[in-house]
């Protein structure tokens, strides 16, 4: 039996004047689940997150968080949540540790709890030695970790992460993923938006692929790849002149050929043998690469566009 | 049965329930945000203190002693029979609070909504936008009050507040700061694009109010055509009210009442518009 849903959205819609940012999406998230919204910029991910976080009112549809409607019970809903916004909004003029304490005060938490808790969270975020530093002295990755630590001050059971690693270097991203993974192990429900497929693959049990405010597909990363792609992909580059015209000559190789401006993708369960077929046709790509299919390919298949423009 | 010696219970760190968080935030949220604002101010504690001590001392010396020696020798009667120092002290007190308010309720609001988006952090917590506005206002009001009290003490030490009710002028200055500052805050919270509006406010509103509000000379001595600046100026209403308390300026009780109503009315209107704009801009 599935654990009870902590978030239920039904036909959730948000319009800004003429623009429909979120167009009737429905989903459920169970307790302890790690749920992702994957899509390009402007897909409506952040708007959805803001509605869940009770800081933006929906235009229509139903939404319930821990059984509460964020429209009528904003403070009660937000008391359940930890929120990591897309843009850090730390108190730059306060010291690192004080940022956590001040934030905890918004939940009415007493200092007797907040002081040791702040130290515990700084350790978790690997920022203990920065406790007395000013926030503006921190690197981007450190600020991000501090924002995550801050979001945990009230021991939320649900954590909303809006593009948690956008703009970070690979090493900082890996540290962050490790921390988020630990939270998941502790049973925290994670809801995250991302346009990085590797992030979604690393962190999400289940995800929805959104584009233009609508859900294009739903499932676990593995099941989505299985459903919409072959096991492997052969990437070929023939140079920008030829990429667009060579498609015809590649017909019949693999299960499907996708022609992009900079490269040609051949979907096949066995990439190496597809490459041999290409060579047999005396086509000489400048570069070739065989890789596993990813969510990027799923997205491309579903929308005909890449995730990151 | 033996009473096993239990080790001293180590209380695991536990946050109270979300329901408690929400009910505390609903009741005390404005104060929680004011606490944040005060903690931020503490970082500038010294400059606030130096400003609130240094500015009055400099002004009182320059105007009250330097200029006053000329004025008092020539035209004491113009200033209601009190020393020039006593005449301008309440005006400087009010102007100082208004100038502080012009800083506190302009750029920090842009910062909160746009630059560093500091209002959006607490907005994701159980606090609501009205409380964020109220907390900011309360912290600044406390700052004006502390600053005005320090200012008043210095004024008193210069012997420029002969009446025992002089201390009320510090409260008047605080309210004058809010009656100028809160309408400014309401305006600042509507700005989405910084195009130098605050520099214009400073040059074309704050400075004229400072100069033409009966600060350095009675409003009556201005031509009638510019006297209206004083009538709509929190600086004039605050200054005249302050004078009633520091040296017993004789004016009609109706006029005194008008000063109070103007100051409180402007502050209340500003607060109401600010709340509305905060809610509009941040969502519920």
- Delimit the domains of chain B by residue range: 29-72+79-282
C-beta neighbour count of A305 within 10 angstroms = 11
In 3-state terms chain B splits into helix, strand, coil percentages (rounded to 5) of: 75, 0, 25
pLDDT at res. A282:
87
Among A79-88, B56-65, B233-242, which stretch is predicted with the lowest mean pLDDT?
Answer: B56-65
Name the closest residue on chain A to residue B282, using Cα atoms: A55
Confidence of residue A307 (pLDDT cuts 50, 70, 90): low
Give me the residue from B23, B118, B282 closest to A55, CB to CB: B282
CA distance A162 to A144: 11
Mean of the pLDDT values across residues A184-205? 91
The better pLDDT of the pair A299, A105 is held by A105
Number of residue pairs across A and B with CB atoms under 8 Å? 117
* Residue B232: pLDDT over 90: yes
> Which residues have a Cβ under 8 Å from the Cβ of A77 and sit 6 or more positions away?
A53, A54, A65, A66, A68, A69, A70
Chain B residues touching chain A at CB-CB below 8 Å: 13-16, 18-26, 28-29, 32-33, 35-36, 39-40, 43, 116-118, 120-128, 282-284
pLDDT at res. A40:
84
* Residue B168: pLDDT over 80: yes
Cβ contact, residue pair A55, B124, below 8 Å: yes
C-beta neighbour count of B152 within 10 angstroms = 25
Task: Report whether A235 contacts A45 (CB < 8 A).
Answer: no
Task: Report whether A199 contacts A144 (CB < 8 A).
Answer: no
Put the strands of the sheet holding A5-16 in their side by side order. Answer: A19-30, A5-16, A60-65
The better pLDDT of the pair B67, A192 is held by A192
Q: How close does chain A come to B106, measured CA to CA in Å? A: 18
The structural domains of chain A, ordered by start, are 5-219 (3.40.50.300), 230-292 (3.30.70.980)
Residue B68 structure tokens: 């006053």
Cβ contact, residue pair B21, A105, below 8 Å: no
Cβ contact, residue pair B126, A106, below 8 Å: yes
> Which residues have a Cβ under 8 Å from the Cβ of A90 and sit 6 or more positions away?
A99, A135, A143, A146, A147, A150, B121
**Residues B15-44 pLDDT 10s:** 999 999 999 999 999 999 999 999 999 888
pLDDT at res. B2:
45
What is the ipTM metric for this complex?
0.89
CA distance B255 to B253: 5
Mean of the pLDDT values across residues B147-166? 92
Mean of the pLDDT values across residues A183-188? 93
pLDDT at res. B44:
84
Cβ contact, residue pair B124, A120, below 8 Å: no
Task: Report whether A107 contacts B20 (CB < 8 A).
Answer: no
Q: How far is CA A85 from CA A47, A51, A106, B114, B189, in A?
A: 11, 13, 17, 14, 21
* Residue B176: pLDDT over 80: yes
pLDDT at res. B7:
46
CB-CB neighbors (< 8 A) of A75 in chain B? 22, 25-26, 29, 126-128
Cβ contact, residue pair A105, B35, below 8 Å: yes
Among A144-153, A163-172, A239-248, B185-194, which stretch is predicted with the lowest mean pLDDT?
Answer: A239-248
pLDDT at res. B76:
66
* Residue B6: pLDDT over 60: no
CA distance B101 to B182: 8
Confidence of residue A100 (pLDDT cuts 50, 70, 90): very high
* Residue B4: pLDDT over 60: no
* Residue A177: pLDDT over 60: yes
CA distance A30 to B135: 36
Average pLDDT, chain A: 92
DSSP state of A4: P
Confidence of residue B3 (pLDDT cuts 50, 70, 90): very low
CA distance A14 to A80: 23
* Residue B200: pLDDT over 90: yes
The better pLDDT of the pair B228, B78 is held by B228
Test the A interface: residue of B26, B34, B125, B132 with most A CBs within 10 Å? B125
> Which residues have a Cβ under 8 Å from the Cβ of B245 and sit 6 or more positions away?
B90, B163, B165, B166, B167, B168, B169, B172
Cβ contact, residue pair A79, B19, below 8 Å: yes
> Which residues have a Cβ under 8 Å from the Cβ of B261 and sit 6 or more positions away?
none
Mean of the pLDDT values across residues B212-227? 89
CA distance B83 to B87: 6
Name the closest residue on chain A to residue B280, using Cα atoms: A56
Cβ contact, residue pair B20, A108, below 8 Å: yes
pLDDT at res. A57:
92
**Residues A18-54 pLDDT 10s:** 999 999 999 999 999 999 999 888 899 999 999 999 9
Q: How close does chain B come to A132, measured CA to CA in Å? A: 13
Cβ contact, residue pair A106, B118, below 8 Å: no
pLDDT at res. A96:
97
* Residue A147: pLDDT over 80: yes
CA distance A264 to A252: 14
Cβ contact, residue pair A108, B283, below 8 Å: no
Percent residues over pLDDT 90 in chain A:
74
> Which residues have a Cβ under 8 Å from the Cβ of A85 and sit 6 or more positions away?
A147, A162, B120, B121, B124
* Residue A309: pLDDT over 70: no
The better pLDDT of the pair B59, A274 is held by A274
Cβ contact, residue pair A103, B21, below 8 Å: no
* Residue B52: pLDDT over 80: no
Strands A34-38 and A206-211: parallel
């Amino acid at each position: 039996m599935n654990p009870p849903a902590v978030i239920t959205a039904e036909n959730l819609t948000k319009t800004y004047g003429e623009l429909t940012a979120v167009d009737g999406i429905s989903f459920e998230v169970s307790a302890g689940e790690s749920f992702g919204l994957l899509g390009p910029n402007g897909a409506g991910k952040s708007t959805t997150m803001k509605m869940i976080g009770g800081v933006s009112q929906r235009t229509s549809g139903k939404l319930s968080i821990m059984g509460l409607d964020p429209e009528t019970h904003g403070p009660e809903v937000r008391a359940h949540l930890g929120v990591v916004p897309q843009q850090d909004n730390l108190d730059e003029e306060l010291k690192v540790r004080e940022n956590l304490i001040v934030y905890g005060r918004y939940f009415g938490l007493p200092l007797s709890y907040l002081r040791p808790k702040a130290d515990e969270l700084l350790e978790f975020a690997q920022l203990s030695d920065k406790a007395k530093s000013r926030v503006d002295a921190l690197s981007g990755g450190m600020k991000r970790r501090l924002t995550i630590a801050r979001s945990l001050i009230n021991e939320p059971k649900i954590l909303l992460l809006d593009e948690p690693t956008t703009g970070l270097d690979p090493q900082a991203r890996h540290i962050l993923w490790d921390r988020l993974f630990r939270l998941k192990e502790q049973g925290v429900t994670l809801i995250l938006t991302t346009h990085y497929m590797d992030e979604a693959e690393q962190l999400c049990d289940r995800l929805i692929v959104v584009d233009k405010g609508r859900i294009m597909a739903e499932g676990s990363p593995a099941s989505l790849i299985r459903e919409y792609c072959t096991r492997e992909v052969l990437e070929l580059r023939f140079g920008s002149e030829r990429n667009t015209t060579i498609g015809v000559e590649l017909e019949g190789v693999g299960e499907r050929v996708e022609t992009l401006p900079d490269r040609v993708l051949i979907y096949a369960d066995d990439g190496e043998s597809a490459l041999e077929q290409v060579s047999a046709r005396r086509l000489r790509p400048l570069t070739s690469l065989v890789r596993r299919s990813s969510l990027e390919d799923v997205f491309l298949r579903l929308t005909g566009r890449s995730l990151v423009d | 049965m033996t009473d096993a010696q239990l080790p001293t219970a180590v209380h695991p760190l536990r946050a109270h329930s979300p329901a408690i968080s929400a009910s505390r935030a609903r009741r005390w949220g404005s104060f929680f945000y004011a606490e944040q604002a005060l903690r931020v101010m503490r970082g500038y504690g010294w400059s606030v203190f130096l400003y609130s001590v240094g500015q009055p001392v400099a002004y009182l010396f320059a105007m009250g002693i330097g200029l006053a020696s000329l004025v008092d020798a020539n035209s004491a009667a113009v200033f209601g029979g009190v020393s020039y120092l006593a005449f301008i002290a309440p005006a400087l007190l009010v102007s100082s609070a208004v100038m502080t308010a012009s800083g506190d309720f302009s750029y920090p609001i842009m910062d909160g909504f746009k630059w560093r988006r500091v209002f959006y952090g607490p907005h994701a917590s159980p606090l609501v936008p009205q409380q964020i506005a109220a907390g900011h206002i309360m912290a600044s009001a406390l700052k004006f009050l502390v600053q005005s009290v320090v200012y008043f003490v210095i004024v008193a030490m210069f012997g420029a507040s002969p009446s025992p009710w002089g201390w009320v002028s510090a409260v008047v200055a605080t309210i004058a700061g809010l009656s100028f500052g809160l309408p400014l805050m309401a305006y600042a919270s509507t700005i989405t694009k910084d195009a130098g509006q605050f520099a214009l406010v400073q040059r074309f509103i704050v400075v004229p109010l400072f100069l033409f509000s009966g600060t350095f000379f009675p409003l009556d001595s201005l031509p009638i055509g510019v006297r209206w600046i004083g009538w709509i100026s929190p600086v004039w209403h605050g200054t005249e009210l302050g004078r009633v308390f520091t040296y017993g300026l004789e004016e009609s009780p109706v006029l005194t009442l008008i000063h109070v109503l103007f100051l409180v009315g402007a502050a209340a209107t500003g607060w109401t518009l600010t709340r509305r704009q905060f809610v509009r801009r941040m969502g519920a």
